[in-house]
Amino acid sequence: MSRGQNTSSTTSAANAAILAAALVFATLPLWADKGLVFLAGIVMVQIVFAVSFNLMFGLTGLVSFGQAAFFAAGAYTAAWLGRAVPELPFLIFCLAGGLVGALLALLIGVVALRRASGIYFAILTLALGQLVYTLIGKSDALGREDGLVGIKRPVIDLFVGTLDLSIGDRYYYFLLVACGILLGLLWWVWHGQLGRLLAALRQDAERIRFFGVNVRRYREIAFIISGGVTALAGALVAPWSQIITPAIAHWSYSALPILFCLLGGASRFWGPAVGAIVFAGLEYATRTMVGVSELIVGGALLVVVLAMPGGIVGTLSLLARKLTKNGKERLNEQSA
Amino acid sequence: MLEIANLQAYYETSHILHDISLSLADGAGVAIVGRNGMGKSTLLKSVMGAGPRVTGTIRLDGRELRGLAPFKRCRMGISLVPEDRRIYPHLTVAENIALAGHAKSETGKPYSVEEILDFFPLLKKLALRKGFQLSGGEQQLAAVARAVLPRPRFLLLDEPTEGLAPLIVDSMGEEIRAIRHREKMGLLLAEQNVDFARHCTDHLVVLDVGRIVFSGSWAEFDGNPEIRERHLSL
């Protein structure tokens, strides 16, 4: 992971790609149809979902199979509060959703992180996530198996005036800004001191234990941040899809961010985002091929996971590094 | 004062250490000598709480360490350099050393990286070299330097000379000895290199199949050549 001068061109290429993607998302309502805009909103939320999951997976090295529990906790908290106390501002619902997700992560973490090694943690988070799924499905207040329907897009108070997000594409732009802020926060955590400590912890927990680091606590902190931001993403999605069902707490929903990470590349911050976009693109492109769609999506996943162990982003940066290296060598030959 | 009493250590169902009792005054140096597989590493790991299941007592100034997590023992002033060194390959020597200063410490202010580099002159020239650019000996030296940074009360070294060039072994011996005396840092050294161990410590214990078969000063050890014969020679 050396960052010499010769990688600056690949870095700027990556920055250009990020900027281009942001531009596409920002201008989408101007040129795309409503169905695509809706899908793009979901993808933005799923990007936050996957990147916050990757804080545990790619950075800290823990595979949680119950991430959907946090997503659902955020979505249901926000939606339920919107019904129970509609007079409160929408941002409070979102924050409450995030807080409930973080608290849930704290509770699940206390139990599951007792066994942080491999399969134990995966199974414990899976079991506790399914517990949340079952509880939601059996709760009258949360609409049992039918979920909560008719969730309103909010009117938010901006001090200088109110902004009605139910009109036109306004909620889409609100999602764009909110997801941008959350990704910025995650980027800061990933690249800051805490992120480096988590990476060191993944590489060799024993070693930093010998430096006097409380490994369990930092795993817990990573889990809480990951769960909290995932829950915020869930809180944002409820008014967008306007219906939430227990399906978003199901283990198969927990598998989504894992797929995005493997597809895009878990070792890079933007890997899961690429994974989410490519996955949605594949699904969209094959949506009319009934029965074959899953085969194609699954086959594509298989190819990527087997042929590109670093995911799409990992493979691209490897290629870029090889290309710049070759280019440099050629330059040297010419000058010699 | 580090006191180990009636220590038994197990891996799974294998009983590795039998009834080990040993005490180290502040600034004292004790070598644990023995052939491969006699339990030297297990003893150090037991003091650090890193791996084996342990019964008996391990006390630092009367405070029981058994049951405390390794990071807490580190904060209380126990520093272990494991056999495999675990230097960060992508960080420089100075960065590797500086890392150990981030944890909370109950033993006072850690040394600065500059002070540490003064302790180990060989590392001074290598301060900006990355971990993967170091020889095995240089890595070992960096790992020892990193363990000294947080100002530990007791330094635990697991076979630091294994596979190193004689020149590096000599200078490391000098430096460890000097730090021990000047900084009053206790040393528990697991070692097969008897000359190096003699240079760094005042006392030794000989381990054979998990039991202490000799305990005393180096002079006493030299006065009993049959110990060397029976427990150390191959």
**Number of separate domains in chain A:** 1
Give the other-Cβ count within 10 Å of A12's Cβ: 10
Angstrom distance (rounded) from CA B100 to CA A320: 35
Tell me what the mean pLDDT of segment A211-228 comes to: 93
- Do B75 and A212 count as a contact with CB atoms less than 8 A apart? yes
* pLDDT tens track for B25-77: 999 999 999 988 899 999 999 999 988 999 999 999 999 999 899 999 999 99
The CATH superfamily assigned to B2-232 is P-loop containing nucleotide triphosphate hydrolases (3.40.50.300)
Question: Range of A231's domain?
Answer: 13-249
Give the integer Cα–Cα distance in Å for B147 and A282: 52
Q: Residues 192..211 of A with a Cβ closer than 8 Å to B: which?
A: 200, 203-204, 206-207, 209-211
**Residue A325, in any domain of the structure:** no
- Show the DSSP H helices in chain A as ranges: 8-31, 34-54, 67-84, 90-112, 118-137, 170-191, 193-203, 205-210, 215-241, 251-264, 271-285, 292-307, 311-335
Label residue B212 by pLDDT band (50, 70, 90).
very high
Enter the tokens of residue A83.
């019904």
d(CA A136, CA A128): 13
| C-beta atoms surrounding B50 within 10 Å | 16
* Residue-level pLDDT at A329: 64
The whole-angstrom separation of Cα A68 and Cα A234 is: 9
- Under an 8 A CB cutoff, do B74 and A212 touch? yes
**pLDDT score recorded for residue B7:** 92
What's the full length of chain B, in residues? 234
pLDDT tops 80 at residue A43: yes
Considering only CB atoms, which chain B residues are within 8 Å of A215?
71
The pLDDT-based confidence of A296 (bands split at 50, 70, 90) is confident
CB neighbour class for B177 (10 Å; exposed up to 12, middle 13-18, buried from 19): middle
- Say whether A210 and B75 touch across the interface (CB within 8 A): no
- Residue A323: pLDDT band (50, 70, 90) is confident
With cut-offs at 50, 70 and 90, classify the pLDDT of residue A291.
confident
- In B, which residues are within 8 Å of A200 by CB distance? 88, 99
Q: What is the secondary structure of B77-92 as a DSSP string?
A: TEEEE-TT----TTSB
Please identify among residues 217-276 of chain A the ones whose CB lies closer than 8 Å to any CB of chain B. none
Give the nearest partner residue to B103 out of A1, A203, A213, using CB atoms. A213
* Ranges of each domain in chain B: 2-232
Identify the pLDDT of residue B232.
Answer: 83
- Provide the pLDDT for residue A331: 60
Give the strand pairing for B29-33 and B14-24: unpaired
Judge whether B71 is closer than 8 Å to chain A, CB to CB: yes
The verdict on A32 touching B (C-beta cutoff 8 Å) is: no
Instruction: With CB atoms and an 8 Å threshold, state whether B90 touches A1.
Output: yes
Residue A99 lies in a domain: yes
For residue A201, being part of any structural domain is answered with yes
Q: Do B25 and B186 meet the contact criterion of CB atoms below 8 Å apart? A: yes
pLDDT of residue A3: 41
Contact present, B197 and B223 (Cβ < 8 Å)? no
- Expressed in angstroms, the distance from the first to the final Cα of chain A is 29
User: Which of residues A316 and A75 earns the better pLDDT score?
Assistant: A75
Q: Is B99 on the interface with A (CB under 8 A)?
A: yes
Q: Do A212 and B103 touch (CB under 8 A)?
A: yes
Would you call B71 and A1 a contact, using CB atoms and an 8 Å cutoff? no
Q: What pLDDT, in 10s, does the model give residues A233-248?
A: 999 999 999 899 999 9
For B99, the closest chain A residue by CA position comes to A211
Task: Choose the most confident range, by mean pLDDT, from A202-211, A256-265, A317-326, B96-105.
Answer: A256-265
pLDDT band for position A2 (50/70/90)?
very low
* A177 in a structural domain: yes
Does the beta carbon of B128 lie under 8 angstroms from any beta carbon of chain A? Answer: no
Longest dimension (CA), chain B: 48
* Average pLDDT, integer, range A39-63: 95
* CB distance B35 to B10 below 8 Å: no
- Find the Cα–Cα–Cα–Cα dihedral B135, B137, B138, B140, rounded to 10°: 120
| Percentage of the residues of chain A whose pLDDT score is greater than 70 | 93
10 Å Cβ neighbour count for B199? 18
The confidence score (pLDDT) of residue B163 equals 82
Whether pLDDT at A334 is above 70: no
Asked if A211 and B103 come within 8 Å (Cβ–Cβ), the reply is yes
Q: Which residues of B touch A212 (CB under 8 A)?
A: 71-72, 74-75, 100, 103-105, 150
Better pLDDT: A334 or A133: A133
**Average pLDDT over all residues of chain A:** 88
Provide the pLDDT confidence category of residue B202 given band limits of 50, 70 and 90. very high
Cα A266 from Cα A258, distance rounded (Å):
9
Percentage of residues in chain B with pLDDT exceeding 70? 100
Count Cβ–Cβ pairs < 8 Å, chain A vs chain B: 48
Contact state of A207 with B86 under an 8 Å Cβ cutoff: yes
B47 to A102, A308, B214, B218: CA distances (angstroms): 36, 44, 20, 23
Whether the predicted pLDDT of A326 surpasses 80: no
Residue scoring higher pLDDT (B206 or A161): B206
Question: B141 to chain A nearest CA, in Å?
Answer: 16
| pLDDT value for A100 | 97
Pick from A255, A260, A251: nearest CA to A47 = A260
